[in-house]
Structure 1
Amino acid sequence: MAVLALLPLGYVVGFTATTPLADLQRLLLRARTAELLVNTTQLTVVGVVLCAVLGVGAAWVVERRTVVGRRVWHVLLVAPLAVPAFVSSYAWISVAPTLNGLDGALLVVVSSYFPLVYLPVVAMMRRLDPALEDTARALGLSEWAVFRRVVLPQVRPAVLGGSLLVALHMLSEFGALQLLQFPTFTTAIYDQYRSSFAGPAATALASVLVLACLLLLVAEQGARGSARYARVGQGTARAATPVRTRARLPLTAVLAVVVGITLVVPLGILVRWLALDASTGADLGRLGPAVVATLGLGLAAAVLTLVLALPVGWLAVRHRGAVATVVERSTWFASALPGIVVALALITLTIRHARPLYQTVWMLLAAYAILFLPRAVTTVRAALAQAPPGLGEAARGLGAGTVGTFLRVEVPLMAPGLGAGAALVFIAASTELTSTLLLAPTGTRTLATQFWSHSTSLEYSAAAPYAALLVAVSAPATWLLTRASTRRPRRGSGLAPAVVDDGAPSATLVG
């Protein structure tokens, strides 16, 4: 898996290494590169902070406060994942053509990606032991102090993992930023490849994204620390009871504003375009094949990526060490690269070393697996990290082998994470654009590629049916994510997490 995930990185590094230093300096040390660096850094830093604040805050309100319609709000806060960022940007600029620049980019990307933080935080909050919070309140801590000193340290892995995913998405985002005319390294790489066909300038820009990804991985690894988060007490922690608050209606109003901006406005604009122009029926004959291709590729990518993520997540949690860290971290590098770079790396390799695979569906699925493996690894790792290792030890002590323990103990405990990972990969693969444009077999058209061909020509009404079907195709997977994140551990499973020292001995689990 590490070798497969590092293929695009090897392509970029090898291409850059063969470029003379003087040429690299000429390509990178210029005003345009400085502008791209500033834009990309601003978008990533500010966007990650806003997504983290919005995701953690929304999770805290929904899980720990008595707001009106808690279950409904949870579904609505996850639903923006079903609206791709480039569809959201299409909706906004179709009614506000002057929306562009950093403000417009932040509006779209934060609206689309904050659920990547909200989901894991909600899932982890539901497994926290509320006795710790009750004890903190009994000792006189305020609600803010309870959140800051008790809850936030325990959900730190979820916040960091979700924020890392958001950062990598922002580094590689193309469609939304291209429509909003906000230049970043990704849009510049696309323009360079389109004009000079894999020229050295584009590859040099891609090397900057690789360096940015490396810095993000090192920062996330250091912030995560070495603490373990599986509960070591006996039995199962009770479910937390939401705290009554006088700010019930204001908090509900805040959630309504968030949902209105991130979901209601884009979908409302989309419905408006569908209703305005009945002439879109001329394209209806292409909708069926596009839907079939999108569903087939999305499901195949989800299964393949999940199978590849299982051993990586298991190794990272159950066998910590330098090798496990290298293997897990290597799966993240390609996610910082635009899909077009991954696609061109695979095209180059297949033409030179595996020509029969060129322009086949297997290359497209390989690109999806490389791009979206971190989504699956993150969810698998989070689910397995909360499964006490003592259960596996007990199974092996009762005579179960390594494979039997993995299949009968570890996999059932990871089931919610597996479902969430599959849903995340399906949504990403169904809406992927740039690598699909390059790698899809001749004649294969997905909803995303058909939508893009119309939206770039400003044919808003013609693009609307494809955008609406993209949302409809992603909706079931989004619903699955809401189910997985709200699933509580079964009685006696001992899965509610609490931070314990890395060297703390595991207590006997009674179930």
Structure 2
Amino acid sequence: MPALAGAIAAACLLPVAYVLWSTASLGPAEAYDFLVRPRIGELLWNTGRLLVGGVGLSVVFGVSGAWLVERTSLPLAGWWHGALCAPLAIPAFVNGYAWVATTHAVQSYLGAVLVVSLSYYPLVYLPAVAALRRLDPSLEEVAASLGKRPREVFLRVVLPTVAPAVLGGALLVGLHLLAEYGALQLLNYPTLTTAILQQYGAAFNGPAATLLAGVLLVACLGLLALEMLARGPARRARVGSGTARPATRLRLGRVTVPVVVALAAFVALAVGLPAASLVRWLVRGASAELDLASLLPAAGTSVALAAVAGVVATAAALPVVWEAVRRRNRWSLGVERIAYVTSALPGVVVALALVTVAIGWLPWLYQTLPLLVVAYVILFLPRALVAVRAVLELVPPRLEEVALSLGLSRAGAMRRVTLPLLLPGLATATAMVALAVSTELTATLLLAPIGTTTLATEFWSEASSVAYGAAAPYALALVLLAMPATILLGRSSRGEAR
């Protein structure tokens, strides 16, 4: 297991090595002159404030929604849960396309923060719901019996308990924002990532682009350090599931109607407006035409790649998380952190690193689907890590020790005791990675074999030329194909998956 985890971390370091190797061609003076330009300062400012605003707003949306659904007398809570999960089925660049096609007022900082938050808050909402479901309600009842008000119970008991799940979701949001390209390009909001793509595509300046990618790596390391500091060293595994009854819900009373209206308005912004925009352009778009000869093969390729990459990424996450959770030494935690670093890089940087390796040492692998799957795994491994870790942390090591004392081998104990308990997390991890893969754009454009298209690449080809009507069928197909995975994630977060 340690050797396998180390090999996976080494594969994730390939893009980092490429960034360092490429930037080495710039002398120190040249690199300094490039980085101190006013434009670089502007890009850093834009990226930094997008992180603060996007992650902060996503946490507010996610935690508030989870608390309303799981801890209040909200009418039709199950239906609202499904509605709050629905944005997962709408890729961020499709959401950006829908908003820009509706109003150009979103092409600003506040518009960018709003759109990315509406796209990524489910990454916080889902783990928060799962954590609230696992929380023993007797803890809240004891606090209430000691005279604590509902707000104090939430701040002093509930929030610290669900904090690890929220931090994991916030980390994912931050990493996605660092690497986001499609939505921000459509929203005309320049960041380090959009500048990297412009350097590669327009200026053909590889060293300068990878130098900017190095700045993204530093930002990613900062996010990881903050998340580790906030998480702390505490272990949270327990034997038993606590009180086997639902938590007492806070009665909304007179504020029920205002809360429902506010929640309906929020869902309308997150789901209703993008859906309405897609339908409008599908029906009225002057350039709209349904080309099944292009749509069906692209859909089939998207589904196949998403399924394969989801399974492979989840399998790769298991040994990494096992070492980090069960051993908790510096080496195992370092391996886990390495797996997160690359996800902050734009897909084009990861793709170019793999192209360099393939051309130099593995020419038979160049322009093949397996190489594309490797890129997906490197890019989206953190999604699987967060999902698997959230479940493994709650599996007591004593269960495996008892199995070993009864004569089972370590592999047998893992297969017969641990894996059945991890299945919900493994299913969630596979679904989360599959959703991300189905919407990946830049790495797919560079690594896909000639003639291979996906829904994301076909959509971008049309949307980038402002052919909104022609892009709408591909966007709608992306949403429809993402629905099964979204439903699975919604059910598993509430403990309903079978």
- Counterpart of 2:96 in structure 1 is 89
Going from structure 1 to structure 2, the CA distance change for 1:213 and 1:279 (only over 3 Å counts) comes to closer
Cα distance per residue 1:332-374 (max 9 Å; x no partner) = 1111000011011111111111111111111100000000000
Greater shift, 384-393 or 416-425, is seen at 384-393
Letter matched to residue 324 of structure 2: A
Name the CA distance, whole Å, in 2 between partners of 1:249 and 1:412: 42
- Structure-1 residue corresponding to 2:305: 297
Secondary structure of 1:239's counterpart equals coil
Query: For the residues of structure 1 that align with 2:115 and 2:322, how far apart are their CA atoms?
Result: 35
Structure 2 counterpart of 1:339: 347
Alignment RMSD, CA only? 1.5
- How far 1:241 sits from its partner (Å)? 3.1
Change (3 A) 1:279 1:106: closer
Partner of 2:74: 67
The secondary structure found in structure 2 opposite 1:281 is coil
8 Å contact 2:72–2:251 — kept in the other structure?
yes
Distance 2:243 2:141 in 1: 16
Structure 1, 95-104 or 419-428: larger mean CA deviation? 95-104
Q: How far off its partner does 1:13 sit?
A: 1.6
Letter in 2 for 1:398: L
In the alignment, does 2:165 pair up with 1:158?
yes
Structure 1: segments with no counterpart, 5+ residues:
491-511
2:192 maps to 1:185 = yes
In structure 1, which of residues 98, 103, 107 is the aligned counterpart of residue 110 of structure 2?
A: 103
Is it true that 1:80 corresponds to 2:87 in the alignment?
yes
In the superposition, the TM-score normalised over structure 2's length comes to 0.96
Q: Secondary structure at the match of 2:104?
A: coil
Question: For 1:489 and 1:202, how far apart are their aligned partners in 2?
Answer: 44
Distance in 2 (CA, whole Å) between partners of 1:208 and 1:90 is 28
Q: 1:17: how far off?
A: 3.0
User: Structure 2: how far apart are the matches of 1:239 and 1:395?
Assistant: 31
1:248 CA drift (Å)? 2.2
CA shift in 2, pair 1:239/1:396, >3 Å: farther
Deviations 1:351-406 (A, max 9, x none): 11111111111110000000000000110000011112221122112222111111
Report how far residue 54 of structure 1 moved: 1.1
Contact 2:138 2:243 in 1 (8 A): no
Q: Is the 8 A contact 2:87 2:122 kept in 1?
A: yes
- The superposition leaves residues 456-505 of structure 1 with CA deviations (integer Å, 9 ceiling, x where unpaired) of 11101000000000000111100000111011699xxxxxxxxxxxxxxx
User: Is contact 1:340-1:435 (8 Å) kept?
Assistant: yes
Structure 2 stretches of 5 or more lacking a match? 1-7
Q: How much does 1:283 deviate? A: 2.3
Residue 197 of structure 1 and its aligned partner are, at CA, apart by: 3.3
Superposition pairs for residues 17-32 of structure 1, below 5 Å? 17-32=24-39
Contact 1:91–1:266, Cα closer than 8 Å, also in 2: yes
Distance 1:489 1:287, change over 3 A: closer
1:244 maps to which of 235, 245, 251: 251
Contact 2:134-2:241 within 8 A present in 1 as well: no
Give the deviation of 1:233 after TM superposition.
5.9
User: Aligned with 2:13: secondary structure?
Assistant: helix
Partner of 1:493: none
- Residues 1-28 of structure 1 deviation map (CA, whole Å, 9 limit, x = unaligned): 0001111011112222342101101211
Question: Is 1:9 aligned with 2:31?
Answer: no
Letter in 2 for 1:400: L
Alignment check: 8 A CA contact 2:438 2:456 kept: yes
CA–CA distance in 2 between the matches of 1:355 and 1:237?
Answer: 57
Q: Which residue of 1 aligns with 2:377?
A: 369
The alpha carbon displacement at 1:143 in A equals 0.4
After superposing the two structures, state which structure 1 stretch, 231-240 or 291-300, moved more: 231-240
1:34 is matched with 41
8 Å CA contact retained: 1:127, 1:488? no
| Contact 1:8–1:346 under 8 Å retained in 2 | yes
> How many aligned positions are there?
490
Distance 1:255 1:316 in 2: 38
Give, in whole Å, the separation in 1 of the partners of 2:393 and 2:227: 16
Partners of 2:121 and 2:225 in 1: CA distance: 22
8 Å CA contact 1:67–1:249 kept in 2: the answer is no
Aligned-partner SS, 2:289: helix
Residues in 1 aligned to 2:409 and 2:165: alpha-carbon distance in whole angstroms? 31
Partner Cα distance (1:224, 1:265) in 2: 36
Residues 126 and 488 of structure 1 are in contact (CA less than 8 Å); yes or no, is this contact kept in structure 2? no
What percentage of residue pairs aligned between the two structures are identical? Answer: 52
The match for 2:4 is none
One-letter code of the match for 1:451?
A: F
Find the aligned partners of 1:459 and 1:405 in 2 and give their Cα distance: 56
Q: Is the CA contact (8 Å cut-off) linking 1:90 and 1:179 kept in structure 2?
A: yes
Which residue of structure 1 lines up, in the alignment, with residue 400 of structure 2? 392
Partners of 1:390 and 1:404 lie apart in 2 by: 15
Letter in 2 for 1:336: A
Q: Distance in 2 between matches of 1:37 and 1:84?
A: 25
Once residues 385 and 489 of structure 1 are traced to their aligned partners in structure 2, the CA distance between those partners, rounded to angstroms, is: 19
> How far 1:78 moved relative to its partner?
0.8
